[in-house]
Amino acid sequence: ENLQIVEFFTEAQTAKEPGRKIFNNLLKLVEKGFAQGIVSWHPDRLARNSIDGGKIIYLLDTGQLLDLKFPTFWFQNTPQGKFMLNIAFGKSKYYVDSLSENVKRGLHFKAKRGEWPGFAPFGYRNDRNTKSLVVQSNEAELVKMFKHGIKRKNGRPLHYNQIRDMLTRNLYCGLFTYVGETYEGKHAPLVSKTLYDKVQEHLNSIYDTKPKKHEFDFTGLLKCKECDSFITA
């Protein structure tokens, strides 16, 4: 169609949320007058959120953006065309929102079936065939005995907080907690529930975060001569 392409952009970041660096650079070129149109596969490649879609509509309204070309979508810079483009952006956002809800629902039902809905923690691996957790024997022994040798992905020893997280993870005793609810898992436990409970009792005795009440002599009896306020410990 005798179009002069002044720049090619490849955006890998999802259009679900605003703030895409490459997309924003594209709009800056349009605002500065280096380009007057955009060629894209489909409107959902440009925006799947209300902010980015609104920016494109606004650039069309102000005349900074004169035209949009899609091989899969017809567009004409008229009130009717912008109305249909707005609907296309809305459908794209609705698709993303619905997909997110469906994924959450699927993960929730997977958890209710006793299947761990995420990446396998240390000591297990995800089995693609059964879509469940399988014990990783060489790692499982380290978890049960907690010997030296457990490493992070970068090869360094576990951080203090990571060790505490492993000790408090109920998944290792056959349960797991997902979105605030605890389920009985179908995976094989690495330690008994009795041992897990003993560990939690010990940790709670060490890390008691409840505020302690201190009793000091003469509290509430002595007053300051200058301000008449009680002297406190």
Q: What is the pLDDT of residues 156-211, one digit of tens each?
A: 777 777 778 888 889 989 888 888 888 888 888 888 999 999 988 888 888 766 66
**pLDDT given at position 139:** 75
- pLDDT band, residue 57 (cuts 50/70/90): very high
Q: What is the mean pLDDT of the chain?
A: 85
Q: Measuring CA to CA, which residue among 28, 56, 27 is closest to residue 43? A: 56
Residue 233 pLDDT greater than 70, yes or no: yes
- pLDDT band, residue 144 (cuts 50/70/90): low
Does an H or E element contain 189, and which?
none
Let me know the angle formed at the C-alpha of 159 by 122 and 207, rounded to the nearest 5 degrees. Answer: 100
**pLDDT given at position 132:** 84
142/161: higher pLDDT: 161
How many other CB atoms are found less than 10 A from the CB of residue 86? 15
First to last CA, the chain: 83
**pLDDT given at position 230:** 84
**pLDDT given at position 163:** 78
Are 70 and 41 within 8 A, CB to CB?
A: yes
Residue 85 pLDDT greater than 60, yes or no: yes
Strands 37-39 vs 67-69: parallel, antiparallel or unpaired = parallel
**pLDDT given at position 32:** 92
Q: Measuring CA to CA, which residue among 63, 151, 48, 41 is closest to residue 95? A: 48
**pLDDT given at position 223:** 84
How many other CB atoms are found less than 10 A from the CB of residue 196? 21
Predicted structure pTM score: 0.49
Q: Alpha helices of the chain — where are they, by DSSP H?
A: 21-31, 43-46, 50-62, 79-112, 137-145, 160-168, 193-206
